[in-house]
Structure 1
Amino acid sequence: MDEKDFSLLHMLKECGNITHAADRLYLTQSALSKRIKAIERELGCEIVIRTRKGVRFTPEGELALERTAQARRELELLRRELGASQGEICGSLSAGFSINYSIVHLPELIAEYHRRYPRVQLDIVTGQSRTLHASLQTGQLDVAVLRGELPWDGMQYLLAQERICAVCTAELADRPLSELTYINHTTDIAHTALMTRWLHENNLGNDANRINVTDLMTCQELVRRGIGWALLPEIVLGGFDGCIRPCTFANGEPFIRRMYVDCQKESESLPQVRALIELIKEQYRADGDVPAAPLP
């Protein structure tokens, strides 16, 4: 077995289906099936069982997955340490970015990082913060930019504090929010609770006059078109020329949402990881956001 076989087994586990795994690995189903058989002959046991719902790993197969995951991590650590010893930033880096950050900042960030450190192999993932947080916890990511209060015991840096604003077009600015359609977007449980609190404190909890959408950018676009109003973070309001009112709770506390950079304990000393974190903070300093503190 080699590293390609390690990746093959883990892709098969992730997909749970020969067809989907073959597509992800750019193999034919026949080629993938033959390779699985070859691995089973080498190991001397059956590692997967084909069912109507896809494939399932046998107990021996689960053990092979565990051991190959360990082998992959050890090989990657060796490469990183060897790269660091050569005095040049290289190796690999797995990073996750929340969707909202990705839309606004990610292309510029990755372009500049690649220009500075072309020998680093990048594996970039975007998604909901809660999903990226789970990947960070299981070691699939070295570092992640996350929004909201998610528990983390590794290195954590407060990147920004965004105000949450009540937003509508200029044409609707003089009308009470209670008369307008509220456009709600899906977010994590903690932030949903804060939004609900603010709505109730301002007697705006009427579900009858509401549109629910799953993503923030659709929500923003509906506001731009004059459909109604929404609670939106500052990060998506660049260039918005309508009415923006920063929100405050009844006790005088500002309604904010924090953005963090979280990093694995095992990864924070790696040069390529530290370089990415510093570039993220440099980007925010250039944009006039929250000042960055030095890495510990």
Structure 2
Amino acid sequence: MDEKDFELLRILDETRNITHAADKLYMTQSALSKRIKALERELGVEIMLRSRQGIRFTPAGEKVLAHSKAAAHEMEQLRRGLDSMQGEVCGTLRAGISINYALYRLPEVLASYHKKYPMVRMDIATGHSRHLYQQMLEGNMDIAVLRGEYPWDGTQFLLSQESICLIHSREYKDVPLSDYLYIDHRSDSALASLMARWRFENGVSGDTGSFVVDNITACLEMVKRGLGWALMPEIALDDFDGCVYPCTFENGEPFVRRTYIFCQRDAAELPQVQLFMNALKKNR
């Protein structure tokens, strides 16, 4: 077995389907089937069963799969260790960036970082913070920029803090919120709960009607067109020319959203990760 076989087994485990695995591996189904048979002959065991519903690993196959994952991880660690020993900053940067930060701040950070360190291979994923947090817990990423509060025992820094703001178009400047539509956007449960609290405290808990969109960009565009009002993070409002009011709760506490850098303890020692953290902090 070699590294190509490790990748082949990983894709088969991920797809559980010969056709889909062949597509991902840029192989024909025939070539993939032949390689599986060759592996089984080499190992002296049957490693998977096939049916119309897909494939299943045999008990022996499960053991082979576990060992191949461990071997692939060891090879990756070896490469990363060797990369860190070289004079030029190189290696792989595995990062997860929350959607909002990726949309409004990340391009500038990455452009500057890549210009300074072109030898670094950037493996960047964007997504909802709750999903990226799970990836960090599973050790699939070195560093992440997450919005909201999550428990973490690795390296962590507060990157920024911004207000959650009430926004609407200027035509509604003197109109009570209860007289027109609330436009909501999907968010993590913690932020959604705080927004519901603010609406309740301000007597606009939904009786006047509302609708929900998938992201803050769509929400902002609807507010710009005078469809209603919304609660939006400050990060999204650079180009908004309507009315903006930072929110506070009934007890006087400001309604804020915090963004953090999360980093794996061992990854924090890698030059490419350290320098990426510095770039993020510089661009607060």
| TM-score > 0.5 by shorter chain | yes
Task: Look up the equivalent residue of 1:213 and give its one-letter code.
Answer: V
CA distance in 2, matches of 1:199, 1:51: 54
Match of 1:75 in 2: 75
CA distance in 2, matches of 1:27, 1:243: 56
Match of 1:195 in 2: 195
Match of 1:293 in 2: none
The share of aligned pairs that are identical, in percent, is 55
Q: CA deviation at 1:208?
A: 5.5
Q: CA deviation at 1:20?
A: 2.6
CA distance in 2, matches of 1:164, 1:50: 53
Match of 1:142 in 2: 142
Q: Is 1:263 the equivalent of 2:263?
A: yes
Match of 2:273 in 1: 273
Measured at CA, do residues 42 and 224 of structure 1 come closer, stay the same or move farther in structure 2, by a change above 3 Å?
farther
> Which runs of 5 or more residues in structure 2 are unaligned?
none
SS at match of 1:149: coil
Q: CA deviation at 1:207?
A: 5.3
> Which runs of 5 or more residues in structure 1 are unaligned?
285-296
Q: How does 1:72-221 map to 2 (within 5 A)?
A: 72-206=72-206, 209-221=209-221
Aligned length, in residue pairs:
284
Runs (4+) off by over 6 Å: none
CA distance in 1, matches of 2:176, 2:131: 36
Q: CA deviation at 1:58?
A: 2.6
TM-score when normalising by structure 1: 0.91
CA distance in 1, matches of 2:233, 2:270: 32
Measured at CA, do residues 219 and 136 of structure 1 come closer, stay the same or move farther in structure 2, by a change above 3 Å?
same
Task: Look up the equivalent residue of 2:135 and give its one-letter code.
Answer: S
CA distance in 2, matches of 1:220, 1:38: 56
Q: CA deviation at 1:22?
A: 2.6
**Once structures 1 and 2 are overlaid, which stretch shifts more, 202-211 or 174-183?**
202-211
Task: Look up the equivalent residue of 1:4 and give its one-letter code.
Answer: K
TM-score when normalising by structure 2: 0.94
Measured at CA, do residues 111 and 61 of structure 1 come closer, stay the same or move farther in structure 2, by a change above 3 Å?
farther
CA distance in 1, matches of 2:103, 2:136: 21
CA distance in 2, matches of 1:150, 1:51: 42
CA distance in 1, matches of 2:24, 2:66: 21
CA distance in 2, matches of 1:93, 1:149: 24
Which deviations, in whole Å up to 9, do the C-alpha atoms of 1:33-59 show, x marking residues without a partner? 332222222222222333443333233
Task: Look up the equivalent residue of 1:165 and give its one-letter code.
Answer: C
Q: How does 1:12-91 map to 2 (within 5 A)?
A: 12-91=12-91
Match of 2:4 in 1: 4
Measured at CA, do residues 215 and 282 of structure 1 come closer, stay the same or move farther in structure 2, by a change above 3 Å?
same
Computed over aligned residues only, the root mean square deviation of the Cα atoms, in angstroms, reads 1.6
